[in-house]
Amino acid sequence: MAKDGEGATNPPQGKCCGVVQEAAAKGTERRNKRREKAQPWIVLKLTIGLTLGIIGYASYVYIGRFCVPMIKRSKSILGGRRFGIPFLVIFCILLAMMLWSYAMIVIVSPGKARDHVEPSPEPPPRQNPVPDWWDSSSDLGHGPGQFEYRGATEGAQSNGSTTLESHAPPSEKPGRQRDDNVGDASAIPAVQQARVRNEINANGHGETSGLPAGLTRRPPMNPALLPEWRYCYKDGFVKPPRAHHCRACGTCILKYDHHCPWIGQCVGARNHKFFVVFLEWAAVFCMWTFATLVAGAVQEGRDGDLDAQYIVIIALSGLFILFTLTLLATHVRLIILNTSTVESLNKQYMTEREKALLARQFSWHQFGAKRRVRKQWDRDWGNPYTEGNLWWLGSYRENWESVMGHSKWGWFLPIGRSPQDGVNWTPNPRFHSDGRPRPRSQWPAELR
């Protein structure tokens, strides 16, 4: 009897597990809903006030505590008025140019897809455009940038060669798969993986490239131009090419590059030019401020009368020199390659996988062999950043002018507008009409 009573007081174990699982599922659903909501306007624009506050404080210290005392000759910093007036004039010019370019990047919209396309139902799925030799496998769940190789043991069960995984079009809802993680500067659009048959070599259609069967390049076979691939399930329309859904802004952005909190919005097709111009002037402004204040601080330090606020601005300007120059170099490279931050990440995934494949096949000191393999891959498919880029226009200059404009004044001044409308794009003729890459042997004769 005691055993029966004792058993009756214990709750069923299955019921407890069910309650825990249900609570966890509801919590996950609530978090996902919060992530899909656009950030409030005040949150988006908050850092603009912070940025202006930093600029204002730097201007106060430089003008009020550095230049004015020199002009009044109350301090003998760097020679008094002879340096104070030129320093003040140059600083004010640089400050005005930086504020002008900052105002343009804050005011000019990157371009929103909803202003150019109408809501539409999900396009009907069509026959898989990937060639028969591209063997998709739905049981692979690796995230972006991950890869898997069949070693000697596992490979012996198939055909004995090393297999490099690559991207393939998702089987359902590609728009959702691609845009769930877009919304800030570090966001990476998720992509699915595919298993590739080993009997096909690097050129993709049975011709010999002179490399072992396992040493083959598998570029992403994403049909990026198909409507079903570009459909956004959050906004409910077919996005223009190169557009992505920004989680922070809550909408699809034309030629989405990244969401920049410093400007309170995204960098995209319409304002990428102004973003680069702002970085140019911000870098020059910070370098001038840093160099002159360091010289003044050294002089005052010798006299034992160093202003502590000089040190604060020197530290801030030094930090922002590194930040702006790094961003500027990155975006100049992206523009001359006619790619975006999001698009370049996909190429980096492929490059990382290829590095891992070469490291598996060759010893660390076989640099020449690795270089020959890479050259052969480029001969078969083209360099992934130039000829193998869907949006490559033919030269660095053409790519640059497609964003920054043809006027050289516009490369350095926040004037005019970008030639890009963000909706219509000219794809690389080396690719299929649906956006999939083709091996060099299938390129137009004049481009091979």
Query: How many angstroms separate the Cα of 146 from the Cα of each of 140, 199, 345, 360, 441?
Result: 11, 22, 13, 15, 29
Secondary structure of residue 37 in the 3-state scheme = coil
The residue from 67, 246, 260, 266 that is catalytic is 260
- Residues 6 or more apart whose CB falls under 8 angstroms from that of 342 comprise 182, 187, 188, 189, 244, 256, 257, 258
Q: Which residue has the tokens 């105002």?
A: 103
d(CA 127, CA 133): 15
3 state SS of 317: helix
The SS3 of residue 166 is: strand
DSSP 229-255: HHEETTTTEEPPTT-EEETTTTEEETT
What does the alpha-carbon distance between residue 78 and residue 302 come to, in Å, rounded to a whole number? 12
Q: Is 260 a catalytic residue?
A: yes
Residue 380 and residue 391: Cα distance in Å, rounded? 19
Nearest-CA neighbor of 267 among 421, 106, 420? 106
What whole-number distance in Å separates Cα of residue 395 and Cα of residue 403? 13
Dihedral (Cα; 401, 281, 42, 115), 10-degree rounding:
-10
Residues with active-site annotation:
260
